Amino acid sequence: MGNLSSLFEQNQEWADNIKEQQPDFFEESAKGQSPNYLWIGCSDSRVPPTQLAELAPGDLFVHRNIANVISHSDINSQSVLQYAVSVLKVKHVVICGHYGCGGVKAAYENQNLGLIDNWLANIRDVYRDYKNKIENHSSEEEKLNQFCELNVLAQVRNTCHSPFVQQAWAAGQDLSIHGLIYDLQTGLLNDLDICVTSAKEASDL
Ligand SMILES: [Zn+2]
C-alpha cells in the first residue's frame, strides 16, 4: 500500500512559505479569481504552466490534455474556453505545445493504441493538412518538431473559430490568442509569432 505522506508534507511546507511571505494570500484567493490568461497545454508532467512562468495561484486558468488539442466536439475544452472568455473575460489565451510531445509522436507513428486513437485522430488531421511541410525535413527529430509547432498553429486556429471567441471579438472584447512552444531541453518558452486579436486576423491565419 502506498501512501501520500510526502505530498501532504510538501503541501504544508508550500502553504507555510506562501503565508510567511504574504499572510493574507489564501484569504484573498478564496474570495474569487480574475486571471488574465487561459493556458491550454499538454498534460505532460514536464510542462507545468504555473511553475515555468513563475506565476502564482490565481494567475492562470488552465486546461490541459494530451497534445494541447482544442476540438469543437470536445465539450470539456469548449466549456473551459467559454467560461474563460465569456465569464472570466481573460485577455489572453495561450496555446502552448512542447517539443518531444508523446501525443504528437504517437499520432505521427500511427500506432494502434486503443481508446487514445480517437483523441489522436485530431492530431492526425493536422498531419494530413501539413504532410508536405512536415515531410520536407530530413531527420525524424526535425519532422516531429515541425509537427509539434504546426499542431500549435492548428489549435490556435480551432480556438479562434470557436463561437465564444468569435462572439467576444464581435462584442469588442479585448482578447488575443497566442501560440507558444516549450523546449524541454532548455526550459524555455519559444514564441511562434502567432498572435491573433480579431476575427479578421483569424480568417487570414
Ligand atoms: Zn505533450
Determine the Cα–Cα distance for residues 53 and 4; give it in Å rounded to an integer.
27
pLDDT tens by residue, 189-199? 999 999 999 99
Q: What angle do CA 36, 194, 87 make, to 5 degrees?
A: 30
* C-beta pairs of 76-80 under 8 Å, 24+ apart in sequence: 77/40, 78/162, 78/164, 80/38, 80/40
The helix, strand and coil proportions of the chain, stated in percent and rounded to the nearest 5, come to: 50, 20, 30
SS3 4: coil
pLDDT tens by residue, 86-145? 999 999 999 999 999 999 999 999 888 888 889 999 999 999 999 999 999 999 999 999
Domain residues for the domain of 1 are 1-32
Do 164 and 119 sit in the same domain of this protein? yes
pLDDT tens by residue, 59-86? 999 999 999 999 999 999 999 999 999 9
Ligand 1 centre to CA of 24 (Å) is 36
pTM over 0.75: yes
Ligand 1 centre to CA of 107 (Å) is 11
Q: Is the pLDDT assigned to residue 1 strictly greater than 70?
A: no
Do 92 and 25 sit in the same domain of this protein? no
Residues identified as active-site: 42, 44, 46, 98, 101
Ligand 1 centre to CA of 148 (Å) is 9
User: Contact at 8 Å (CB) between 148 and 97?
Assistant: yes
Q: Partners of 120 in the beta sheet?
A: none
Q: Partners of 154 in the beta sheet?
A: none
Rg (CA), the chain: 19
Sign of CA dihedral 38, 79, 149, 41: positive
Ligand 1 centre to CA of 66 (Å) is 6
pLDDT tens by residue, 9-66? 999 999 999 999 999 999 999 999 999 999 999 999 999 999 999 999 999 999 999 9
Do 68 and 18 sit in the same domain of this protein? no
Ligand 1 centre to CA of 41 (Å) is 8
Do 12 and 63 sit in the same domain of this protein? no
Do 43 and 115 sit in the same domain of this protein? yes
